[in-house]
Amino acid sequence: MVVSTRVLGKRKPLLADFSVPPPIEIGDGGEATLRKIIEHIVRSEVAKFDRRQEQLRFDRVLSKSQIDRGVVSGKIDPAKKSYTQSVDVEEAVGAALMGFIDGLYLVIIDAAERKCLDEIIRLNPTSHITFIRLVFLAGA
């Protein structure tokens, strides 16, 4: 599945398109509720974030030029940032579902807007999912 993100009124996408494998329970083609699809995408993205955090934390290797700059400044520090940020996956799923319920974003799957979390949707490996973040006017 390809996931796109957009902001209403902006030309550029919020993020670059990315792929997420379909939920295991539906395999290469099957049905799932919008709730399960959103949960699956959020869980997948949190897992990717956690892997990136681990890589940044353990794979930080300095280049020769970075070492040379450190020598000049008097400090060679391979850990410029602390990569200990963590995300509670259940909290992230809850926030995503609440955002949908509150109307903060729309979900378009295969060119059709989906309005109900419990709607059954047929997915396939080529399904295209777009999240559109809505921007509210002041005083609305």
pLDDT digits (tens, 9 = 90+) for 8-45: 888 898 889 999 988 888 877 789 999 999 999 999 99
* Ranges of the chain whose pLDDT falls below 50: none
- Per-residue exposure over 55-81, b if at least 16 CB sit within 10 Å of its own CB, e if not: eeeeeeeeeeeeeeeeeeeeeeeeeee
CB 131 within 8 A of CB 5: yes
According to the model, what pLDDT value does residue 64 have?
A: 78
- Per-residue exposure over 101-127, b if at least 16 CB sit within 10 Å of its own CB, e if not: eeeebbbebeeeebeebeeebebeeeb
List, in sequence order, every beta strand (DSSP E) within the chain: 2-7, 15-19, 30-33, 105-109, 112-114, 120-123, 128-133
What are the φ and ψ backbone dihedral angles of 6, each rounded to 5 degrees?
-140, 160
According to the model, what pLDDT value does residue 61 have?
A: 66
According to the model, what pLDDT value does residue 122 have?
A: 92
According to the model, what pLDDT value does residue 48 have?
A: 92
Q: Using the 8-state DSSP alphabet, how is residue 106 labeled?
A: E
| β-bridge partners, 123 | 30
Q: Specify the pTM.
A: 0.78
